Amino acid sequence: MSKSQNNTVLLLAGISIAMILGTSSLGITNISFYSAFALRESQPNIQASHIYQTHTMVLGKNIQNLIIELPNEGHEDPTQSKELRVVNQPYLPQNAVINVGTTVTWFNADAGHKHQITLVNNNSQNKAVYESGPFDNFVSSNPITFNKTGNFAYSGPSNDKGAPNYKMNGTIEVINQPLNNSFNTTSSSSATTTTTSNNIDTIATIIVPAKIVDKVSSDLKGQGLGIDNQYPFTSLRGGGSTTGGDKNQVMLVLTSSGKSLNEVISVLHTVVPTMGYT
């Protein structure tokens, strides 16, 4: 082989190696990018501002129970000419990302209205896997524990004669969550319960009229619940109406540790009716 031929072979070999390395590097970059994207999407987040803006809450692997609130006037159809809802979603949160093994229940804070929940598995031809049956205001549905990964949709009729075809819709995504939630909650104590950021296992969300948020917060803390964070917002229906309550509202994200799910619900059953929603 001549010297020129040998150089050509070496040049081609060098180009091939460079192309292979370049392709490999691109592949690694893509994998890293998509992994980072997936991680960001499943990053635990229980900030009330995030829930309000995205309608979504993401729970870490350290959370055992989630209580989803049906807020007052959440049954109202958002497409009506006059906005009748207080908050911008029919459930708080409307969409939840939870870890395998998490137990979920729905708490009805919609004063004067019964509700029911139907849950379907999107991975099994929309097969219904849970039916709550009707449950009254200021009580919760029967709980359901999600033991496998999957995507679920849940809904309930609005029970509004003016919008008979409207349904309240939400979603639950169950993943193998590798991450823990971190908390702002430092401590909340009662005679029987102490909550710290190291052992929180239950999360709930509620909305409260701003003018009584301090009293409600004190009542909740007095019964052993913590308040991790909150987000003030303006009621979509304005203020001054009997059912709408105050113009200014606050979403609270509540935490608990060491209490059973029924004990946490019992606190909500005691406190939520005092908020003046009708």
pLDDT, average across residues 212-231: 96
List beta partners, residue 264. Answer: none
Residue 11: what pLDDT? 44
pLDDT surpasses 60 at 20: no
Residue type, 179: L
- The pTM score is 0.81
Mean pLDDT estimate for the chain: 82
Q: Which tokens go with 90?
A: 């029919």
pLDDT at 29 over 50: no
Instruction: Provide mean pLDDT across the span 35-62.
Output: 83
Digit-coded pLDDT (tens) for 179-191? 999 998 654 444 3
